[in-house]
Structure 1
Amino acid sequence: MKKNPTLLFVFLMASLCSFSQKKGKQYNIRTVAFYNLENLFDTINDVTKNDEASPIMELKSNRSKVYWDKIDKLASVISKIGLDKAKTSPAIIGVAEVENLSVLEDLIASKHLVQKRYGIIHYDSPDKRGIDVALLYQERYFKPIHHEAINPNIYRNNRKVYTRDQLLVSGYLDNELIHIIVNHWPSKRGGTSSIPLREKAAYENTKIIAQIREKDADAKILTMGDFNDDPIESSLKKVLKTKEKKKNLKEGDLYNPYEEMFKRGLNTGAYRDNISLFDQILISSSLVDTGKKDYSTYKMFRAMIFNKRFMMQANGQYKGYPLRSFSNGGYTGGYSDHFPVYIYLIKEKI
């Protein structure tokens, strides 16, 4: 990675502490996160999917041991995201690259997460590899009232692209209604010819957001995921029309705090010599403090990348890159080929 965000993290922690002390005010702090779990497949062959091509199914031995080690490692990471200031793991976390409901049940039953009482929202998607998106939520903080899987209906050369659904979940974070879209857009496989696929996925997001705003023009919306595009690319900038600067936000705009991070050289993933920041959380203007310092309702305080040293390659050509689980047909003992991203939402306690 080009830059180490340690100083920024220290500044954030100090800022949050000052918020809780200023004029005796106290704040609720909730963490909302996203994590691509890198091929979290079980060891059972599903004849309806191409799960034989998953890294764990390609292993010649010790599949069960590898599976449970990966579950333990991923759960350990999730348990630490936002812990410093929220004093607990994420209230809400979107995940990608999961095979089915069963692997999610194993994940939340881990010793690292079982006491958090996570609920699961998951649908089987039509993805040919059999990978899905899902939402996990701590039941004491978030109460879902509606959820649905929406397929973006992408076609290429008049043939349907069997990609992941976009998961819409609406519910109450404490007593505030929010809407979350969890995404995993088509990959860059195919180079520039794949650009229209992600633009079409982004267009589906605009349709979902428009439907939400028909009922509530000032709705609080977060769209998160592995977009397989960096923050400056057309799917985000031209289709979703994301904004980099808070000062440029207008009502109804989407703010992307990860664009500025990308321009500073931060990343959530890498392939060979190219770093990327595909994992992002986009936030509607109604969740952004634009300078009024009004925290009577939940507002985003900071956006972060969870990239602790233990999750990184320690040496070699790819030092500082995510320490992935699988490489060259074997298990590395790592975590994921993506770093998680997260935001702090804060609200003044009454």
Structure 2
Amino acid sequence: MKKLKHHFFILFLCLLSYANAQEKKTYKIHTVAFYNLENLFDTINDPTKFDEASPMMELKTNRSAIYKKKVKNMARVIADIGSNVAHNSPAIIGVSEVENREVLEDVVNDSSLISKDYGIIHYQSPDARGIDVALLYQKKLFSPISTSSHELKIFDDLTNKRVYTRDQLLVSGNLDGELIHVIVNHWPSRSGGEARSRPKRVAAAKLCKHLVDSLQINDPYAKVFIMGDLNDDPTNASIKDALKAQKDRDKVEFKGIYNPFEGFFKSGLGTTAYRDAWSLFDQIMITKPLLDKDFSSYRFYKAGIFNENYLIQKTGQYKGYPYRSWGYGGFTDGFSDHFPVYVYLIKEINN
């Protein structure tokens, strides 16, 4: 009987030791995000672009002061994304609706971000409005290896004239020494109606899928992030049929793509609103290797929409919508007509 009690006591100590070991697990966490900066234009007329039609250039007075406030507002949001969990601003953030590299330099040199030492990856695209996508990254956390811009050639189905839109940005690099790939998108708008414009976004999705396929040919286990303002919801043909993104992580096949934002959309959440209806155009999707349960390297933890209270319109006709920067009266002192989106990556670290 004493031997039996002794064995139970030893077993108890082993279980207690195992439980304590489990409790002591600690993780490193990084935020990867995307944000549509809503017409972040400078105050200088560029004769090579149609920037005179931008909200900034349409201002008749206080243009310089409003530009500085717009920049400060954008920097504030970027600094806040993920900070309550990761205790840091995003390690990597894709952005859209920026006029040029100079406006991004002003954002990353704002007092709320300058200590983060963000690098900028940006290419001029042929977009008719003069807006581009870009990637910002904390230099101490992410080291780019290769960058490239990929042109989307699409044509109007009635006139057969080319529609000039945003290029897709592909960046490969090391996040804390681990190779990842990020594709930043801003797909064609729904101008002319969703149905008529749908083929343009399907074409954009096919280009994006081609980039993913190319990465997976070189490395079937490539960790790829697809992010952007897609001008489509997670259930639209561009994402479900062209990208073949899955809502359920358990159903993602080898070389497949997981879209954590489809669940949010089906729950009634969105990132932008129009005529009292929410859309979830801003998304981040990932390839299967980021879903593995082995946390010895960075894996997907969770996704979210950054819809903090200060980013929401409090009064008026658009109460409850994203608190946008521009309205019929000019600058509103707001932020963007889109909420940012983010994912957390975690890696187990030894104590």
TM superposition score normalised by structure 2: 0.92
For the pair 1:174 / 2:193, whether they are aligned, the reply is no
CA apart distance, 1:329: 4.4
Q: 1:276 — aligned with what? A: 279
Q: Distance in 1 between matches of 2:233 and 2:101?
A: 29
Q: How does 1:106-145 map to 2 (within 5 A)?
A: 106-145=106-145
Q: 2:346 — aligned with what? A: 346
CA apart distance, 1:123: 0.3
CA apart distance, 1:153: 1.3
Q: 1:234 — aligned with what? A: 237
Can you list the C-alpha shifts for 1:204-244, whole angstroms capped at 9, x where unaligned?
01111111111101100000000000100000001000000
1:220 and 1:321, CA in 2 relative to 1: closer, same or farther beyond 3 A? same
- The answer (yes or no) to whether the contact 1:324–1:336 under 8 Å persists in 2 is yes
For the pair 1:190 / 2:192, whether they are aligned, the reply is yes
Report the structure number with the largest CA radius of gyration: 2
CA apart distance, 1:76: 0.5
Can you list the C-alpha shifts for 1:36-90, whole angstroms capped at 9, x where unaligned?
0000000000000000010011111001111000100110110011111211100
- The answer (yes or no) to whether the contact 1:313–1:321 under 8 Å persists in 2 is yes
Q: Distance in 2 between matches of 1:91 and 1:120?
A: 12
Q: Distance in 2 between matches of 1:304 and 1:69?
A: 26
Q: 1:75 — aligned with what? A: 75
Q: 1:217 — aligned with what? A: 220
Q: Distance in 2 between matches of 1:329 and 1:120?
A: 32
CA apart distance, 1:22: 4.4
Secondary structure in 2 matching 1:281: strand
User: Gaps (5+ residues) in structure 1?
Assistant: 1-20
Q: Distance in 2 between matches of 1:165 and 1:312?
A: 30
- The answer (yes or no) to whether the contact 1:243–1:254 under 8 Å persists in 2 is yes
CA apart distance, 1:315: 2.4
Deviates further, 37-46 or 23-32: 23-32
Give the AA of the match of 2:279. Answer: S
CA apart distance, 1:159: 1.9
For the pair 1:246 / 2:276, whether they are aligned, the reply is no
Q: 1:161 — aligned with what? A: 163
Q: 1:307 — aligned with what? A: 307
Q: Distance in 2 between matches of 1:22 and 1:260?
A: 30
Q: Distance in 1 between matches of 2:294 and 2:148?
A: 32
Give the AA of the match of 1:307. Answer: N
Q: Distance in 2 between matches of 1:272 and 1:105?
A: 35
Q: 1:13 — aligned with what? A: none
For the pair 1:256 / 2:263, whether they are aligned, the reply is no
- The answer (yes or no) to whether the contact 1:59–1:329 under 8 Å persists in 2 is no
Q: Distance in 2 between matches of 1:272 and 1:314?
A: 17
Q: 2:46 — aligned with what? A: 46
Determine what percentage of the aligned residue pairs are the same residue.
56
TM superposition score normalised by structure 1: 0.92
- After superposition, the CA RMSD in angstroms is 1.0
Give the AA of the match of 1:196. Answer: P
Structure 1: 4+ residue segments shifted above 4 A: none
